[in-house]
Chain A
């Protein structure tokens, strides 16, 4: 009986020490200027979200597949995957067209974005698109490998 109690204590301690927290939250400025958003991004794209996998509230976050129609600042593929996770994750909606400000993942294998990066549904992005037309550096779209 005593051995069983000790075992239960070990399990409880292990559970509590590794207990997941409810999630993360950040403090960020949600309405940044197009110039600031452009400055902090590695690439800017206009594109349609095809699918969204995962959960932004989970540690691994979610990944959106995006069909890119225009790009600025850096050449990107016509189809890209964008990860958003943990703090300040951006809530992608499938079948919605966005203007997205992207950063290259540290391992160089894809892109990431955040809620406060300046992203907007294309219907609300007129000001940013005007800014990009005047000040952005257009970039080419790479064709996907056959």
Chain B
């Protein structure tokens, strides 16, 4: 099935530090990709929100784009990074260390950047995590993090 690709050593990114996902993390990344597709199919606000981002693509459309690559970054202390309106995503060892829901939230956040969402101080990329059902509106309105959701109002990018 065509769709965003996980770099398992079959892709060389033009971005320095963007490497193949280690074997031990590939299962987590596959889970995150599968879950993201489930979200796109089952949570209406996900596609609706992604349509509002600068490049106007839906989450389903992005997840079906086989020119988008998800890589690994072994040294970055941040959770992830992406080219704005580009094709390359890196998810870091930091996100994997926290767990698969953080990997999934980071994938959604970075896909929002791929869809044109600007970086800080703009908050639209992290808002995508809420619109995909991984946070509470109360966290958004109060700015207080609920540690039981992957969304965190203190996260920028």
Binding site for B on A (CB under 8 A): 21-31, 40, 86-88, 114-117
Contacts and interface: CB of A to CB of B under 8 A. Distances in A.
B85 A27 contact: no
Contacts of A27: 78-81, 95, 105-106, 109-110, 125-126, 155-157
B141 to A, nearest CB: 17
A40 B77 CA distance: 9
A24 B82 CA distance: 6
Contacts of A24: 81-84, 119
B107 to A, nearest CB: 10
A21 B152 contact: no
Given A26-B80, A40-B77, 8 more contacts: A23-B119, A24-B82, A28-B79, A28-B157, A29-B152, A31-B154, A87-B81, A115-B120
B78 A26 contact: yes
Contact of B79 (A21, A26, A86, A114): A26
A143 B79 CA distance: 38
A25 B125 CA distance: 9
B78 A88 contact: yes
Interface of B: 76-86, 95, 105-106, 109-110, 113, 116-120, 125-126, 152, 154-157
Given A25-B117, A26-B119, A28-B156, A114 B84 contact: no
A25 B119 contact: yes
Contacts of A86: 81
A86 B90 CA distance: 13
B156 A21 contact: no
A118 B30 CA distance: 32
B81 A25 contact: yes
B77 A25 contact: no
Q: Which 5 A-B pairs have the closest CB atoms?
A: A25-B119, A28-B78, A21-B86, A21-B83, A87-B81
Nearest to A115: B120
B119 to A, nearest CB: 3
B51 to A, nearest CB: 19
Contacts of B106: 27
Contacts of A115: 120, 156
A26 B81 contact: yes
Nearest to B125: A25
Contacts of B84: 21-25
Most B-side CB within 10 Å, residue of A28, A29, A30, A40: A28
A28 B126 CA distance: 10
Nearest to A28: B78
A114 B118 contact: no
A29 B83 contact: no
Given A87-B81, A114-B78, A116-B78, A25 B113 contact: yes
Contacts of B116: 22
Contacts of B86: 21-22
